[in-house]
Amino acid sequence: MNPSKKQVLILAGDGIGPEVSLVAKELLDLLDKKFSLDIRISEGLIGGIAYEETGDPLPKETLDKAKESDAILLGAVGGPLWDSLPSDKRPEKGLLGIRSEFNFFANLRPAILSKELVSASSLKENKVNDLDLLIVRELTGGIYFGEPRGKIQSSEEAFNTMRYSKEEVVRIGRVAFEAARKRNNKLCSVDKANVLEVSSFWREIISDLSEEYPDVKLSHQLVDNAAMQLVREPKQFDVIVTENLFGDILSDIAAILTGSIGMLPSASLNDTKKGLYEPVHGSAPDIAGKNLANPLASILSVAMMMRYTFEREDVALIIENSVESVLSSGKRTKDIAEKDDLIIGTKEMGQEVLSQIDSML
């Protein structure tokens, strides 16, 4: 790897992935030009399109490119076209594989409601105004990766295993406590300790770890209550830490509070600051190729890349402020539009943000 360059791999994937990734690529090109970041971009296949072309949802060529990259930007994977494939060939296996290969154990999913989109939220304004919370999800353990797993051929039965080691819980706990220290010193750990031994184990370890962070106020909630509280009083939370399956569900609930799942970025990090950055939305095959997708989550994922992998907080803030400025002008993609808004497409929204960034520099 050339240490003087910032190596970024773009994996556009399936559905609307190529559309939003193209906008992100144009953004990276602009940032490279304006800030002399010395970015080198490569592209690869993942998911359903990778299976169609190579027979593997995560081809060796893609893995080799990922190994040479500092950051990976993903579009989306999956779609009904591949639902009947064996589990090891499904598009999602490519995503799980790349998370596991590079130990992207810490998934950061901010849920920040733009002041311009308060009316687009499914909750009343007083419940979500100034909403800003962070979900820290453990990403490489739990029931998604636990063994044994499978289907019993001789009977109508299938099984999965939820499993965590102390090391896995401690390392994600540290990420969450450190994040809370940079925010409002408040952390809620979510589990199902009243039923699951793994959750009871999780709660014990997080509680013990909290002794190293006396300045952070730690609380615990059961996952069913946490889900209810997210749609009842979401501003009671600041940072939430939880295991893989619960984090998957809770982060999607938090996403809809912000007006659209098309607004939310995410970062998945390992111990070396190498990161996988992706919008939270799925592949949305029903609108693929129609210039309807919201590219803002992909744009904001680039902002997270600048913040966490390349440590350019200044660039991240310029991207985020530019998105806010475009929204304040009344321009919207269809998913976040109301009757008086000007509805524009994927490409047009991307150009609006890029033009705003260009004008600020």
What residues act catalytically?
144, 192, 224, 248, 252
**CA pair distance 240, 317, nearest whole angstrom:** 23
**CA pair distance 77, 66, nearest whole angstrom:** 17
Q: Any idea of the CA torsion for 333, 337, 343, 347, to the nearest 10 degrees?
A: -10
Q: For the stretch 289-323, what's the b/e string if a residue is b when 16 or more beta carbons lie within 10 angstroms of its beta carbon? A: eeebbbbbbbbbbbbbbbbbbbebeebbebbbebb
Nearest in space to 39 (alpha carbons), one of 24, 20, 19, 60: 24
Side-chain half-sphere exposure of 149, counting CA atoms within 13 A: 12
**Tokens describing residue 53:** 């072309």
Q: How many CB atoms lie within 10 A of CB 7?
A: 21
